[in-house]
Chain A
């Protein structure tokens, strides 16, 4: 128990705060902050997914919006067909729609895995700056396909007339849906901690720190990276599915590169390669958007300034800041998370270096 607290106090703190925030709004009878908390939970799930590739795997994907958006389409299309009573696929093997949330989440996860397999096979032939540009380009490819393919709304998106149900349970209540998303978030946190603590996670970490040595002791980088990329994508896709049901709308803008940027912001803001990072990051981003949005309609301008200031002058993200605060307060063992500053210095590669797959 003591170990759990030492290693994961920040994660527990983040989860408790998020739940407390939603519960206090529910106690007051409001709903605005519940849906805001739901949004935080969902974006945190997407961020946790991205963190596996970007943080632990050192693969700076600027195309995770593709998986977020595809997950949304998978879940949205399932409900759309269920509502219309039509089939997704006709012919010898007919696939009907489904109003079940679990089906939608599984469909989203599988779509994410498949897309990441395709994108990963090509983009993992490269690294560094190439990888950033290629993942971005593939995400844009899917985005342009989504806006020019008219069956599911094209550029206008696809409104959903009913939220999915969970094993017959009605999810239309704000608090009910928050609880579902929160449970998925807890699952994602546990999964992420298990993965990074496993042998697989150790190999991934080794590959990020020194690829040559890992090859020398007999590991095949491509397989591990591709697996991590796919797991990362599947998690982000599940988040996309939950997001679509929150809004009741499948929007191609969830696949746009601004969304990829948002997800990167969430990971960096919270702290790269730290389990609780994305929860803090998502909360901070949503909080800034909401507060700045109340204050001025030019909030994006000021958000840009704040983010720029953070990159230039504050490093290690919010989670790193908390560690330093804990250490300063003399809470010794609480402050022993890995030093991401050092990790990132080691991770710095020569520009233009291309890795043999």
Chain B
């Protein structure tokens, strides 16, 4: 196995990790501040991809499409918060699960209704197409590198927002004691709407970028959502730092498992069986990782209250 192949897989893992971070950050923020479990976060990912593909097709520019996706998902997020989520903060998790599960049905079927059953396709923008040469003679797509870069920028920006800005101060205060900051004159409803819209926008950003790598279709958000859950469980709920660490860990682990477990099995078993068993085991790898972390630290790697 060459160094180039290894490097390529490492970059793929990092890119997956960055994308998972965008999803997990929104989920964990909403949970940390509002105590809400949002299954419909994957739908926001899907909506971001659809909006980006549609607006890009209409306007001819990926960048306008990306802007449309960000603005659109933030608006949809704010609307969901005002119409539905606001009524769920005092309810138990069971009601939240059922309500957000209903939202998934509504959004999935709604997207199919608006855009039809056929998948949409989104091309990478000309500025970011092309490839960077790798040591093994192959090339690595610039667009994937750009995703990594954007993810890192967002992570830094989010950290600055939460640790340094006035809004971030209110968010942290809201996590600690929501009644107290309400008493101190912060409009808690507005704060919740903003936090939810930020989370939705991050999911929309992830969806828009991934939409250029794969086909844009209904249901594309669900596998990502479940991986983001694994990320949060590993990282610790409510912790942005945990979401980042968990996302990179899960992204790299999953990519390596998918690349190397079948190779490993190929050297032990006949090819057909190796492919079947290796592939099946590789798809289970991150859940085994999650189980391992749970045994070691049931509260995740970076518990929010530590």
Contacts and interface: CB of A to CB of B under 8 A. Distances in A.
Interface of A: 54, 60, 62, 122-123, 125-126, 128-130, 132-134, 136-138, 140-141, 144-145, 148-151, 257, 261, 264-265, 268, 272, 298, 300-301, 303-305, 307-308, 311-312, 344, 347-349, 351-352, 354, 357
A265 B101 contact: yes
Contacts of B99: 307-308, 311-312
B102 A308 contact: yes
A145 B294 contact: no
A348 B229 CA distance: 21
Contacts of B31: 129, 351-352
Contacts of B35: 351-352
Please report whether the interface of chain A is mostly helix, strand, loop or mixed according to DSSP: helix
A303 B108 CA distance: 12
Contacts, number: 134
B99 to A, nearest CB: 4
A137 B276 contact: no
A247 B102 CA distance: 26
A148 B278 CA distance: 9
A257 B219 CA distance: 12
Nearest to B106: A304
Given A129-B31, A307-B105, A308-B102, A257 B233 contact: no
**Chain B interface category by residue count:** 35 or more
5 contacts: A132-B37, A268-B94, A272-B94, A300-B108, A311-B102
Interface string B84-98: 100110001111011
A311 B276 CA distance: 43
A347 B229 CA distance: 23
A352 B35 CA distance: 8
Please report whether the interface of chain B is mostly helix, strand, loop or mixed according to DSSP: helix
B287 interface: yes
Interface string B211-238: 0000000000010001001101100011
B237 A300 contact: no
A354 B298 contact: yes
B290 A137 contact: yes
B226 A137 contact: yes
Given A311-B98, A312-B99, A352 B287 contact: no
Given A60-B93, A352-B304, A308 B233 contact: no
A148 B283 contact: yes
B305 interface: yes
Contact of A129 (B37, B95, B105, B298): B37
